[in-house]
Structure 1
């Protein structure tokens, strides 16, 4: 937290402001970049960690170290290690969007940039309510939306099913 006041010259100082919070921008990370989510703390109120962030409304991304909060949904373990990002669909409504932003990664030194991730999309109670997973890429001045066909609906048939690898 910080407090601010103005120096108007000749010893004339304003009153101190009320306390304020701020964050500094994260440094751009040079590729290759790897994050297995283990450095992040598990939370159901995720906003920002290690330059990953989400904008929390009624529906957003969180980090689990065990299982998802609702029964018979999601994976019952991480792909590797303990932690994984997840959305809790029971907190949202039809049409809601949960966005997860990665740190800014400079891929200009790569001859063939690629993205690889693992996903688990299971909803045993109502498979049709799973929703969609879209991947968008910011290219420095504009967004490239849906750089892969969106993944729609339940992709696994059980919580214990393995995570699926996706390479772009």
Structure 2
């Protein structure tokens, strides 16, 4: 028999990490320096027991493991968390779990990461499909910032 997922005492499992969708891009910081950006988002609920509340609680657990902060404060430095694996893939480390998220990225992104370029890590609390277009991602970020549904941190290579 299936039972609803609990929102208490969530742990970060390999399945939860794998379920995250990621988007990477390059941007320019206010100082004019190049900045690598990484967006982590949940997928839409997959069953009637996986409510938006459950999805959000899982994302907040991930945000805690990454020590991310709200958009209302300067993004915290969350330490070194990224490790290049190949010229087009990096791994993101979370606290409290041995699992890492493998993230596909363009060669330019991983090259800059290897040169210790800072990374703005953005975590969205609301689902976004893996097939989202750049315009949908931009809209997601705009609405997420407006409604305080994004959490932030700065990271770099290990």
Scaled to the shorter chain, the TM-score interval is under 0.3
**TM-score normalised per structure 2:** 0.25
Which structure's residues are more often helix, by fraction?
2
Which structure's residues are more often strand, by fraction?
2
**TM-score normalised per structure 1:** 0.24
Larger Rg: 1
Q: Which has the higher contact order (CA 8 A, sep 6+)?
A: 2
